[in-house]
Copies of this chain bind each other. A is one copy, B any other.
Amino acid sequence: MSEPVAPRRCADAASGLGRELDGMLVVSIEQAVAAPYCGLLLADAGARVIKVERPGGDFARGYDRLAAGQSAYFVWLNGGKQSVVLDLDRPDDFALLDAMLVRADIFLHNLAPGALERRGLTGERLRRTNPGLVTCEITGYGRDGPYAAMKAYDLLVQAETGLCAVTGTGEAPARVGVSICDIATGQTAFSAILRALLLRGRTGQGSDLSIAMFDVLADWMNVPLLVQRHQGRPPARVGVAHATLAPYGLYAAADGEDILIAVQNEREWVALATRVLGRPDLATDPRFSDNSARVANRTALAIEIEAVFGRHRRDALIALLTEAGIACARLNTVADLADHPQLRARTVSAGPVEIDLAALPVGTGAHLGRVPDLDEHGAAIRAEFAAAAALG
């Protein structure tokens, strides 16, 4: 199970996805993570995505130089797009944007709250000349309410929604180690845009979408929220264990290797006791006879489990557990992920180098081969839309 094998084929290579937005034009004034991730998914679905960058470029270009001299964030998020630099304070650049939006199907942005409204670029005004246009803004906290003007970055919204409070160890809260709030919001914006396109197919009309990072995570927090409201306390932070199921968590195998197991019902517990531990007596032991008893006697249970697990190497245990129908996994490092036999790859070119990434979970990623240099398509895009801009 631990030897790398040839990367799996893309699950949906046969689905035909990747052409469903063929011919559609996306204009995206995007920076950092949330809107660029949405733009990436639109490109993967076959749309032409024009990434409009401020003079100096999307600041994610300068986040780091960690990936062969390129920005890890930027390389991940921007394959398959076209880049044009526009200074919206210049009338000619503003006219060019306006001309692009007359022909666009989708207008995406994650500028600061109010930045486009001040310039008159509201969905309502744009749909007067382009009725089918789907506009989508990404904000931190939405258009209304006392937080509407607050700046929002990924960590701040993780903290504000209480996600950090339920993540971490018994001792201390923690952030999720990836930009979960940005990514989830980009994914949500993508599905909202697809919904609006399906609606447009029925009505001919575009939609006015506004996706808030806070709203996305608040929905994901519904279980802790319900526990808090109805029990008067939040769920416990328990590291990599489970607050209310046992055995469920990390156990030690031979040679200091850890293994995660998850037992979800009595049938699985009996299978673990009899077929893996070779201890049918444990299945009927009153200390372990149902889940509540096992949670109450968690430590004694761990001692019994590790007495057996400690005699096996992890790979042998995984085979044994899998055979018995017990869910298990390794607590992998990032290095383990890099060599994981189940990892699917996509490759992009960025500047002078080629960089391997984990593939998108849907589609082929076939359109996403090139990460654009700053303003790489500027001259061509200006030429393409200049006549229309002059007329405008």
Contact yes or no, B199 A17, CB < 8 A: yes
CA–CA, A337 to B215, complex, Å? Answer: 11
Residues of B within 8 Å of A224, CB to CB, are 177-178, 334, 337
- The proximity string for A residues 129-166 relative to B, scoring 1 for CB distances below 8 Å and 0 otherwise, is 00000000000011111110111110111011111111
Q: Report the minimum CB–CB distance from A318 to chain B (whole Å).
A: 9
Q: Is the CB of B197 within 8 A of A198?
A: yes
Q: Any chain B CB within 8 A of the CB of A122?
A: no
Q: Name the CB-closest residue of B to A63.
A: B244
A326 to nearest B CB, angstroms? Answer: 8
- Find out whether the CB atom of A212 lies under 8 angstroms from the CB atom of B11: yes
Asked if B66 and A188 make an inter-chain contact with CB atoms under 8 angstroms apart, the answer reads: no
Let me know if A183 is at the binding interface, CB within 8 A: yes
Q: Are B211 and A362 in contact (CB under 8 A)?
A: yes
Q: How far is the CA of A341 from the CA of B150 in the complex (A)?
A: 13
Chain B residue nearest to A327 in the complex (CB): B151
Residues 167-195 of A, flagged 1 when their CB comes within 8 A of B and 0 if not, give: 11101111111111001110110111011
**Are B337's CB and A162's CB within 8 A?**
yes
Q: Is A248 an interface residue (CB 8 A)?
A: yes
Distance A207 CA – B207 CA, assembled complex (angstroms): 26
Q: Name the CB-closest residue of B to A45.
A: B195
Collect the chain B residues with CB atoms within 8 Å of residue A328's CB.
150-151, 156
Known contacts A211-B361, A242-B155, A262-B153; A332 and B162 CB within 8 A of each other: yes
A222 near B167 with CB under 8 A, answer no
Question: Across the interface, which residues of B come within 8 angstroms of A183, CB to CB?
Answer: 220
Asked if A210 meets B11 with Cβ closer than 8 Å, knowing A17-B192, A151-B327, A334-B234, the reply is yes
Q: Would you give the 0/1 interface string for A307-348, flagging 1 where the beta carbon is closer than 8 Å to chain B?
A: 000000000000000100111111111111110111110000
Complex CA–CA separation, A167 to B225 (angstroms):
21
Name the residue on B nearest A188 (C-beta): B361
Does A68 touch B at the CB level, under 8 Å? Answer: yes
Interface contact A155-B12, CB-CB below 8 Å: no
**Shortest 3 CB-CB distances between A and B: which pairs?**
A166-B177, A151-B327, A156-B329
